Amino acid sequence: MSKVIGIDNSRLNKTSPVANFRQTQQNYNRWSGLVKPDMTLMICLGLLMLIGLVMVMTASIPLAGKNGDWVFSYLFKQSIYMALGLIIGAIVYHIPMQFWYKNAKYFLMLAIVLLLATLLFAREVNGAHRWIKLGPVNLQVSEFVRIAMIVYAASFLQRYQNQIYKSLPAMFRLLAVLGVIAVLILKQRDFGSAAVISATVLGMMFLAGVCLVRFFACASGV
């Protein structure tokens, strides 16, 4: 089409009206519609799941035989959990991106409430308060907090993408939220989850284009 109307995409000024329109259209499609899955990523995910099943099978057969259970009982349970995860993932994939963008702060508030509830009501296991018992299921709140923090950070960086590079207060606002989450998780004596969440958010900030001097100063402090 560009050849017909005489427009060279390689020489198109990024600030021209045509370029701005194309960028706006691209952003609209990204936020309102579904993106075709990355097949390379899907293949890697499938291989990791397959390797996980093989490892569970090889490690659990002797244990199942020792306990008098069916030798593939652990593999069967793991397959059910994996199938449920795939179903939930498919449902989440079909939720529009705008939903996560608009409700990110509510997910964050829910995460903070759950962390406080864990400190107050969770049972102690080896000196740590990490799990809330919901009937037959023990909920590890830090797993939900990890997702909520990623969604909130992505929403924040998208909303303040024009300020995150030059505005120090904008960067510190996100770091302050990260600090609160990290402190609450460390109160549960879960250093691993706090480190993973902190590293993930800092990586997102780096990819969003924050000032490198400020970024490395904050990263070294964390």
The domain locations on the chain are 1-33, 37-95, 97-222
Q: Spell out the residues 6+ positions from residue 79 whose beta carbon is closer than 8 angstroms to its own.
A: 53
The pLDDT, as a whole number, for residue 180 is 92
Over the stretch 41-99, which tens digit does the pLDDT of each residue have? 889 988 999 999 899 888 888 887 777 778 788 888 889 989 998 898 888 888 888 88
Listed residue (122, 98, 125) closest to 28, CA to CA:
98
Block mean pLDDT (10 aa), the chain, length 222: 43 46 48 65 89 88 78 86 89 85 91 86 67 71 89 89 74 88 87 90 84 66 55
Coil, strand or helix at 131:
strand
| 152 close to 161: Cβ distance less than 8 angstroms | no
Rounded to whole angstroms, the Cα distance separating 174 from 48 reads 32
Max Cα-Cα span within the chain: 76
Residue 95 burial by Cβ neighbours in a 10 Å radius (0-12, 13-18, 19+): exposed
